[in-house]
């Protein structure tokens, strides 16, 4: 059953990711009338929000854009950093949206940051349990009670699911801030704004699929645990 769930959501995730890449590729070919690049948009949005201690940097990879609160950097993939399209500006503005959240101590961002070390530990624990179940199933009852193993898995997936759902308002709010800035700053026309909004919509859906997948997996293990007690 769990294999079917994993495969099902893997297919959905792949479909959403493919759609996102398709949208980004399409809108990346349409030059903005303002001629602003992703880097320039990020720097302007930071300045417009009174943020002067965040650097905009270029990183390798495709769709590897992210904001790093540890060293206060907005990291843009080269195709976003140098591109002068609605898609590039949308991604840049979204990442700066996270920097604005950080500067204003946005509650959900702080909650997610606090959960990062807990999630990392949970990932290590669940990997150990799964490895033991896969390669040492015959010895597992001696190492750990099967019901206890399920409880550990449930505990870890509870952390994963909580993290995934807290991530949703963080991502949607960053897009909202970015799109609002694009409107007030005038860097995009109404038509270009719609392209940017469409790009960010599909990016957000990748997080939504991940959150639902985590919740369904958690519920599956809870049901398995309850069934094992009968």
* Closest alpha carbon to 182 in 10, 14, 76, 33: 33
Q: What is the pLDDT of residue 5?
A: 77
Q: What is the pLDDT of residue 146?
A: 76
User: Which residue range forms the structural domain that includes residue 194?
Assistant: 2-228
Residues 43, 79, 95, 192: which is the catalytic one? 95
Rounded CA separation 52/130 (Å): 45
Q: Is 95 a catalytic residue?
A: yes
The pairing of strands 55-59 and 66-68 is: unpaired
pTM: 0.87
Which of 22-26, 129-133, 221-225 has the weakest average pLDDT?
129-133
* Closest alpha carbon to 100 in 57, 39, 54: 54
Q: Confidence band (pLDDT; 50, 70, 90) for 143?
A: low
Rounded CA separation 208/163 (Å): 12
Q: Count how many domains the chain has.
A: 1
* Closest alpha carbon to 149 in 227, 225, 226, 229: 225
Q: Confidence band (pLDDT; 50, 70, 90) for 1?
A: low
Q: Are 76 and 58 in contact (CB under 8 A)?
A: yes
Q: What is the pLDDT of residues 206-217, one digit of tens each?
A: 999 999 999 999
Q: What is the pLDDT of residues 28-49, one digit of tens each?
A: 888 899 999 999 999 999 999 9
CB atoms under 10 Å from CB of 212, counted, come to: 15
């Amino acid at each position: 059953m769990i294999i079917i769930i994993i495969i099902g959501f893997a297919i959905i995730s792949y479909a959403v990711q493919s759609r996102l890449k398709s949208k980004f590729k399409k809108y990346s070919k349409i030059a903005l009338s303002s001629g602003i690049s992703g880097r320039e948009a990020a720097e302007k949005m930071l300045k417009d929000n009174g943020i002067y201690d965040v650097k905009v940097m270029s990183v390798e990879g495709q769709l590897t854009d992210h904001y790093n609160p540890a060293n206060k950097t907005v990291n843009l993939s080269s195709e976003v950093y140098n591109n002068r399209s609605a898609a590039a500006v949308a991604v840049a503005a979204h990442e700066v949206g996270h920097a604005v959240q950080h500067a204003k101590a946005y509650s959900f961002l702080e909650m997610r940051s606090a959960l990062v070390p807990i999630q990392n530990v949970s990932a290590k624990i669940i990997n150990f349990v799964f490895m033991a179940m896969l390669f040492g199933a015959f010895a597992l009852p001696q190492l750990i009670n099967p019901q206890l193993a399920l409880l550990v898995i449930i505990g870890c997936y509870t952390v994963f699911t909580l993290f995934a759902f807290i991530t949703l308002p963080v991502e949607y709010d960053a897009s909202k801030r970015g799109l609002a800035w694009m409107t007030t700053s005038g860097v995009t026309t109404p038509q270009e704004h719609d392209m940017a909004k469409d790009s960010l919509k599909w990016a957000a859906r990748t997080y939504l699929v991940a959150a639902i997948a985590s919740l369904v997996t958690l519920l599956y293990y809870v049901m398995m645990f309850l069934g094992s007690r009968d």
